[in-house]
């Protein structure tokens, strides 16, 4: 009788079930419910939430942190309506002649206007300029000279996926911003998690050479190095792991589970981890969507938000990766051990200020997305 009771107790003791709430705006996303619930308040609600998140991040920044001079100057120039481009030429000297400054300003304004509706070329700028000044028409070289005075250059146009200009894609961005900001403001632990290769070969395709040299084709070197998965919070690198092989679903979701184990050991995070107040902010890599692997390896209740496709600027971990790699690339390193040690040192040296600055840049990108598309 006692044995039967023990067997009944064992059968009743089932393994705990862990659930993951998933927010996604992938190709199956249809934002009708989101639009119906928010109607005309979507953009204004997100804008207000972003202001609150931005203020919170600013309050976390150390008071004695280094000032980003470039950002401060850009904000100052915008406030006073000053355009430094109009005061520089190729030799970085001031355009002292006020008449030339006026011509530069007019040509630059035409150029910027044409770029809003297409691609500005000298032919188009010249045509528009001569329409305005038909009594004194100018030449191709005149426009080119004054564009160079204003420090304007001829650039290659980058082609983006046309889908990102659609209204549906705009609502996808609003959806991601809405979920992310609401979780941050509701005191969730928000983790931005991603993987990146730590390669050892020089990826640059540009080099200095004589003008007489024709195109040089070099043999593509086989990549050698490591792969890293990293998780960052709002103000610190929470956990990272380096692999000698490429990452897969098992390595990724076991890493996520280990990250939550680490957080559970920290007093200020312990209760929120147990309550499931954790949001994972991920991109759309295939290994992040492996539900069977996730259910097998993830032993915590979490919420998962997938970023908008083609919007890496929303994800702050991309800037942290750039910071880590830039500190290593500038050094001449030989063996794999030296390279690995250099990356480890660079990761350790990433400060709270740099992580907060990455989040601040992502919030600014979200502001821009609302302003541009709304």
Q: What digits encode the pLDDT tens for the residues 275-332?
A: 989 999 999 888 898 888 898 888 889 999 999 888 888 999 999 998 888 877 766 6
Q: Residue 89 has what pLDDT?
A: 45
Distance CA(236)–CA(190), nearest Å, equals: 11
Q: What is the CATH code of the structural domain delimited by 40-65+163-201+224-373?
A: 3.30.420.10
Q: pTM of the predicted model, to two decimals?
A: 0.69
Structure tokens at 224: 């050698």
Query: How large is the average pLDDT for residues 243-272?
Result: 90
Average pLDDT, the chain: 77
| pLDDT score of 9 more than 50 | no
Decide the pairing of beta strands 278-282 and 302-306. Answer: parallel
Q: How many helices (H) and strands (E) does the chain have?
A: 14, 6
Q: Residue 278 has what pLDDT?
A: 93
Query: What element of type H or E holds 167?
Result: helix 167-185
Q: Residue 43 has what pLDDT?
A: 72
* Range among 74-83, 194-203, 227-236 with highest mean pLDDT value: 227-236
pLDDT band at 17 (very low <50, low <70, confident <90, very high): low
Counting Cα atoms < 13 Å in the Cβ hemisphere of 345 gives: 11
| pLDDT score of 353 more than 60 | yes
Q: Residue 34 has what pLDDT?
A: 62
Beta-carbon neighbour count of residue 205 at 10 Å? 6
112 φ/ψ angles, rounded to the nearest 5 degrees:
-65, -40
Beta-carbon neighbour count of residue 362 at 10 Å? 24
Q: Residue 336 has what pLDDT?
A: 76
Q: Which of 60, 20, 49, 54 is closest to 279 using CA atoms?
A: 20
Q: Residue 346 has what pLDDT?
A: 87
322-360 burial, b for 16+ CB within 10 Å, e for fewer? ebbbebbeeeeeeeeeebbebbeebbeebebebbbbbbb
* pLDDT 10s digits, 66-109: 555 566 556 555 555 555 555 544 444 456 678 888 888 899 88
Say which range, 239-248, 253-262, 303-312, has the weakest mean pLDDT: 239-248
Query: How large is the average pLDDT for residues 178-201?
Result: 87
Q: Which of 244, 199, 205, 243 is closest to 222 using CA atoms?
A: 199
Looking at the chain, the whole-number percentage of residues with pLDDT higher than 70 is: 70
| pLDDT score of 31 more than 80 | no
Query: How large is the average pLDDT for residues 41-67?
Result: 76
Looking at the chain, the whole-number percentage of residues with pLDDT higher than 90 is: 19
DSSP 65-131: PPP-HHHHHHHHHHHHT--GGGG--TT------HHHHHHHHHHHHHHHHHHHHS---HHHHHHHHHH
Distance CA(279)–CA(261), nearest Å, equals: 15
Decide the pairing of beta strands 20-23 and 302-306. Answer: parallel
Domain locations in the chain as residue ranges: 40-65+163-201+224-373, 69-149
Q: Residue 246 has what pLDDT?
A: 81
Decide the pairing of beta strands 189-199 and 225-232. Answer: antiparallel
* pLDDT 10s digits, 104-131: 889 988 988 888 777 888 888 999 999 9
Q: Residue 206 has what pLDDT?
A: 47
């Amino acid at each position: 009788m006692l044995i039967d009771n023990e067997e009944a107790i064992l059968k009743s003791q089932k393994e705990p079930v862990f659930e993951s709430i998933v927010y996604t705006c992938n190709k199956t996303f249809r934002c009708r419910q989101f639009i119906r619930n928010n109607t005309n308040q979507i953009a204004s609600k997100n804008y207000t939430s972003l202001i609150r998140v931005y203020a919170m991040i600013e309050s976390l920044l150390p008071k004695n942190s280094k000032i980003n001079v470039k950002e401060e100057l850009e904000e100052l120039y915008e406030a006073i309506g000053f355009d430094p481009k109009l005061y520089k030429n190729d030799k970085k000297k001031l355009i002292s002649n006020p008449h030339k400054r006026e011509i530069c300003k007019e040509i630059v304004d035409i150029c910027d206007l044409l770029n809003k509706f297409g691609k500005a070329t000298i032919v188009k700028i010249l045509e528009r300029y001569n329409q305005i000044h038909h009594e004194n028409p100018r030449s191709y070289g005149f426009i080119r000279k004054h564009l160079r005075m204003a420090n304007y250059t001829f650039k290659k146009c980058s082609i983006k996926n046309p889908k990102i200009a659609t209204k549906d894609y705009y609502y996808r961005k609003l959806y991601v911003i809405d979920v992310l900001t609401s979780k941050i403001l509701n005191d969730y632990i928000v983790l931005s998690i991603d993987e990146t290769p730590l390669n050892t070969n020089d990826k640059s395709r540009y080099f200095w050479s004589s003008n007489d040299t024709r195109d040089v084709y070099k043999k593509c070197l086989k990549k050698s190095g490591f792969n890293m998965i990293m998780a960052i919070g709002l103000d610190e690198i929470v956990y990272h792991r380096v692999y000698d092989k490429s990452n897969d679903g098992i390595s990724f979701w076991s890493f996520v589970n280990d990250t939550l184990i680490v957080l559970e050991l920290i007093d200020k995070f312990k209760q929120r981890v147990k309550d499931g107040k954790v949001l994972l902010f991920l991109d759309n890599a295939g290994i992040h969507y492996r539900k069977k692997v996730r259910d097998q390896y993830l032993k915590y209740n979490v919420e998962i938000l997938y970023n908008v496709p083609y919007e890496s600027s929303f994800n702050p971990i991309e800037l942290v990766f750039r910071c880590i790699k830039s500190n290593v690339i500038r050094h001449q390193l030989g063996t794999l051990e030296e390279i690995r040690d250099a990356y480890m040192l660079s990761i350790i040296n990433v400060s709270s200020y740099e992580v907060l600055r990455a989040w601040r840049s992502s919030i600014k990108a979200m502001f821009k997305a609302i302003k541009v598309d709304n």
